[in-house]
Amino acid sequence: MKICAKCKETKKLELFNKRKSNKDGRYSYCKVCSTKEDTDYKRTEKGLVLQIYTSQRASSRRRKHPKPEYSKQELIDWVFSRDNFLELYRNWYQSGYKKELKPSVDRLDDSKHYSIKNIQLITWEENNNKGNLYKAKKFSKAIKGVHISTGKEKNFKSMRDAERETGISNSHISQCCQKKRKSAGGYRWYYEAS
């Protein structure tokens, strides 16, 4: 048993996260209080920007883009210098922290990595809608599949159409078109020449 330093309740030891550096091997706050404190911090102005920066680094790795060209502090300085930051933050706070209104840093050109010249401050909803439009455009390019065995060609208006008709994952088709993969579903895939 252990007393939580935050809520002062006595709780079972397993209700505290592990921490080797503490004498008893557990955090001082229970899991419930730790989660609440973490959530509260991420809702502060600085905590929000640090969360955005962490997310940008992770998404850059996932996209195989270079990491952001700026440091945490440079992003904090940039965000706090934007005319619309306080208004966006206030609207998010007054909404009860609705995800749609959360301030978000968006890439102006989605094909390029994060740099100060390639970012803007908008709401999460605007960023999400823009991302969905970019994906729709990316997957709406006309493509053709050439069957490996027969050499027969099939033309499609988009990767999504090809996926619906053939059952082959559009992400695998995309990787073929980008020359990251040789074939998918028995076909070699290519963008149609514009």
Task: State which of 117, 137, 157 marks the end of a domain.
Answer: 137
Residue after which a domain boundary falls, among 120, 137, 154: 137
Q: What's this model's pTM, rounded to 2 decimal places? A: 0.67
Write down which residue in 93, 115, 137 finishes a domain: 137
3-state SS class at 154: strand
Residue with tokens 């080797």: 20
Residue 152: HSE in the Cβ half-sphere, 13 Å Cα cutoff: 4
> Does one domain contain both 101 and 156?
no
pLDDT at 29: 96
Q: Report pLDDT for 194.
A: 54
92, HSE (Cβ side, Cα atoms, 13 Å): 22
Contact between 107 and 52 (Cβ < 8 Å): no
The per-residue pLDDT for 140 is 77
Instruction: Return the pLDDT at 134.
Output: 77
Q: Which residues of the chain have pLDDT under 50?
A: none
Beta pairing class for 143-147 and 153-156 = antiparallel
